[in-house]
Amino acid sequence: MSVLSLNANNFDEEVMHSDKPVLIDFWASWCGPCKMMSPVIDEIAEEMGDSIKVCKINIDEEQNLAVKYNVMSIPTFIVLKDGKEVDRSVGVQSKDEIKGMLK
């Protein structure tokens, strides 16, 4: 399963109408910790396959979505189920910590 880039145009369809949990990585190209986490997020997408949806939102390109979800620092990881936020973590996390958010 590949990681999906989200924007204002596809957000509702991909996240709010998803029938599986959605992990969103809020990031920016200039953010060192975000770059460290990118391969971890890719591994989670690969390992968990079709049981979840893994998405990334570039906060520089999608500021409205960052504001909507109250993202104050990055990376921020948010898990949504049925369109509702069920978990959130900020900063560098281990792969196991992020996978634990999806249970």
All domains of the chain in start order, with CATH = 4-101 (3.40.30.10)
Per-residue pLDDT of 39-97, as tens digits, reads 999 999 999 989 999 999 999 999 999 999 999 999 999 999 999 999 999 999 999 99
55 is catalytic: no
pLDDT at 1 over 70: no
Q: Model pTM? A: 0.95
Q: Report the alpha-carbon distance of residue 25 to residue 89 in Å, rounded.
A: 10
Q: Report the alpha-carbon distance of residue 25 to residue 27 in Å, rounded.
A: 6
Q: Report the alpha-carbon distance of residue 39 to residue 45 in Å, rounded.
A: 10
Question: Which of 28, 31, 48, 90 does the annotation list as catalytic?
Answer: 31
**Is-contact 53 62, C-beta < 8 A?**
no
Question: Which of 6, 22, 34, 66 does the annotation list as catalytic?
Answer: 34
34 is catalytic: yes
Q: How confident is the model at residue 2 (pLDDT cuts 50, 70, 90)?
A: confident
- Which residue's structure tokens are 């060192």? 32
CA 92 to chain centre: 13
Supply 20's token pair.
């599986």
